[in-house]
Amino acid sequence: MPWRLQFWLQSVFALAERVITLATSTLAAKRRSLDRQLGAILATPSGCDLTRDLQAKIGRARAQLLVFLAHPGAVEPTNNGSERLLRPAVIQRKMTNGYRAMWAAEGEAAIRTVVDTARLIGVSPFSTILKTVSA
């Protein structure tokens, strides 16, 4: 199973690199093919506990694995972007040993949400915060 899963993942990432250049019908066909291949990988019997555990985890996440094909260019094939956005909050939490009050944690989360959303839509984070506070 490991080499089949590795080959499947290589196929997925190769497709992800050209997802915005392909027609919707082509993406749908490739998604069906990849889903069929994954089904075969997950159905392969194994005597290894680790392999069965991995098959079970992938099976639970199966519906989310190929979402980027349904939304070409809008959804990344990995969660690296989300991880990068979370990194400053994680570093801040580790440096300060967390928050003593829930309102402080919720406040920072709200500010980060406003700033990240503003950046995402191409608006100045500072002006967005000013508008939010003055509203």
38-95 per-position pLDDT tens digit? 999 999 999 999 999 999 999 999 999 999 999 898 888 888 887 888 888 888 888 8
Q: What angle do CA 51, 5, 13 make, to 5 degrees?
A: 140
Q: Is it the case that residue 115 has pLDDT exceeding 90?
A: no
Give the burial string for 61-71 (b: 16+ CB within 10 Å, else e): eeeebbebbee
Can you tell me the distance from the alpha carbon of 30 to that of 60, in angstroms, rounded to the nearest whole number? 21
Residues in Cβ contact with 38 at an 8 Å cutoff, skipping those fewer than 6 apart: 8, 58, 62, 65
pTM of the full predicted structure?
A: 0.66
**What tokens appear for 112 in the block?**
């980060």
